[in-house]
Structure 1
Amino acid sequence: MADILPNMTKLAQDAPPHPFYPLEANIVGYLANEWSVPKLLGVFFAGCAVELGITLLIVNRFNPTLRKGDKAALLWFVVSGTIHVFFEGYFAFNHATMPAMQDPFGQMWKEYAYSDSRYMTSDAFVLCMETSTAIFWGPLSYTVALMITTQHPLRYPLQALVSLGQIYGDVLYYATSLFDHYFNKTTYFRPEAYYFWAYYFFLNFIWIVIPGILLVKSIRATARAFQALETQSAAQQTNGGSKKRN
């Protein structure tokens, strides 16, 4: 026991300092961000604005009569798909070297990791969740956007599937982190309230609120379709019976 304590102290002294919690987390190769938070946010929102602008131009050309609500849903799936495929896919591909990354995506992830250091340690759950999200929900989000543009009949079933998957992943994300916080006494977010409420809670809660609304709309649209089908089928049976009697 006497030999173990000095060794542990030496390891702690040799470990590179980092700003993430828990402070004893093993984060290899950490480099502080070179860009400021306003610059990172500016790049992110500028990219989103360009993408949404181009999307609107394309949609207005191919389906100018598309309703505003459908356009809003379409834009959501385009942005969501891009974040899933490129941003979350970036993490899945670079998770092992994330602490040292200095490109815009890498610095964005390091900034977000102030609210969840699991993104700096290749946490098994976070890595598997982000990888599956990039592979499945990303491409399917683009598919839903295309189906909304073309008013494809499979739009609502697929919209429900993607929305439910996003909600499910978000719930598990919250649950695993908060379970460790309250049960295992392991906290992954810094003590400043901003990182918990603005980054961890708010940014992820978006993927519960909007998918929740779209899921409800999908269920209602599906119910109306089945109701119309049953009404039509009943009317045909009634008309068929009347003709036979005549």
Structure 2
Amino acid sequence: MSAATEAPSFFTATSAYSLAAVATIGFLANTGANALLPKSARWQDRFTFIWLAFDAMIHFSFEGSFLFLSVFGRQVNTSVGPFAEMWKEYARADFRWGFSDPTVVSLEILTVLGAGPMCCFILYQIVKNDPARHYWLVVLSTAELYGGWMTFCPEWLTGSPNLDTSNPLYFWVYLMFMNLIWVFIPIWLMVDSYGHIAKSMRYAQAVAKPKKS
């Protein structure tokens, strides 16, 4: 098999430092939950804290680096450095991340500058046990689901010209796994928050309802 057609390795140097960075972010998120939340906190709130802390750090570091390279370096494919190499690896699965597709960059601007700070605000609300966080969790989750939809729906409608779905590594790991966690977890957060909001509204309605004489 020639070098041009050789299947990519499932574990490269880029894979190693990317995995180490993700693991470090996960460790920091879990450490933050242990330090800032009481031991009596619901497991749902603890999980939400860890996810939001992880989410924020991913947005600011990984996606923030993509945005920086795309706006100031013009595109990933012509940039150098560890973050550039990481995004070049991902761009093998989705070519748009390599040449700074305007739609992807536009979505990442909202993600890095909008979703990232919102995660931090909700983390503050969780620490303060502010029930208003459930509204913002629905807003954040809706935005992230919409961002994922607008990232991939244009490709599906045009036959996925920028996606390499023929390679199992690219399809199952890069495209499926690395994106579906931002589908399933936001949906779960929305369902959990809906339960809290609906319960509170129904209780308020019952309290406010005038009693029959």
- Structure 1 SS opposite 2:159: helix
What's the counterpart of residue 47 of structure 1?
Answer: 24
The equivalent residue for 1:36 is 13
Q: Quick check: 1:66–1:149 contact (8 Å CA) kept in 2?
A: no
Higher RCO (C-alpha 8 Å, min separation 6): 1
Q: Do the aligned residues in 2 keep the contact of 1:180 with 1:187 (CA within 8 Å)?
A: no
Residue 108 of structure 1: aligned partner: 86
How many Å apart are 1:190 and its aligned residue? Answer: 6.2
Q: 2:200 aligns with which of 225, 232, 242?
A: 225
Partner of 1:139: 117
* Helix, strand or coil at the partner of 2:164: coil
Cα 1:42–1:188 shift into 2, 3 Å: closer
Distance 2:151 2:128 in 1: 33
* TM-score for the superposition, normalised by structure 1: 0.75
Deviation at 1:132, TM superposition (A): 1.0
**Is 2:93–2:164's contact at 8 Å kept on the other side of the alignment?**
yes
1:1-246 to structure 2, matched below 5 A, reads 36-60=13-37, 63-95=38-70, 96-181=74-159, 186-189=161-164, 191-234=166-209, 237-238=210-211, 242=213
Q: Deviations over 1:170-203 (max 9, x none)?
A: 1111102222325xxx233263122022211221
Q: Against the structure 1 CA distance between its residues 54 and 101, is the aligned structure 2 distance closer, same or farther, given a 3 Å change threshold?
A: farther
Q: How far 1:49 moved relative to its partner? A: 3.6
Q: How many residues align?
A: 200
Q: TM-score, normalised by structure 2?
A: 0.85
What RMSD, in angstroms, separates the aligned Cα atoms of the two structures? Answer: 2.0
Shift of 1:97: 4.1
Would you say the 8 A contact 2:75–2:99 is kept in 1?
no
Instruction: Tell me the distance in 1 between the aligned counterparts of 2:187 and 2:18.
Output: 26
Question: What CA distance in whole angstroms lies between the structure 2 residues aligned with 1:106 and 1:223?
Answer: 45
CA contact (8 A) 1:114 1:190 kept: no
Aligned counterparts of 1:207 and 1:152: Cα–Cα separation in 2: 24
Q: Identity rate of aligned residues, in percent?
A: 25
Query: Are 2:25 and 2:57, in contact at CA under 8 Å, matched by a contact in 1?
Result: no
Question: Which AA in structure 2 matches 1:222?
Answer: I
Q: Conserved in 1, the CA contact under 8 Å of 2:77 and 2:88?
A: yes
2: CA distance, partners of 1:49 / 1:187: 30
Q: Distance in 2 between matches of 1:112 and 1:157?
A: 33
Aligned partners of 2:30, 2:177: CA distance in 1, in Å? Answer: 25
Question: How many angstroms apart in 2 are the aligned matches of 1:212 and 1:78?
Answer: 17
Q: In structure 1, what is the Cα distance between the partners aligned to 2:135 and 2:104? A: 27
Indicate the structure (1 or 2) with the bigger Cα radius of gyration: 1
Give 5+ residue unaligned stretches, structure 2: 5-11
For 1:145 and 1:75, the matched residues in 2 are separated by: 9
Runs (4+) of structure 1 moved beyond 6 Å? none
Letter of the 2:173 partner, please give it. Answer: A
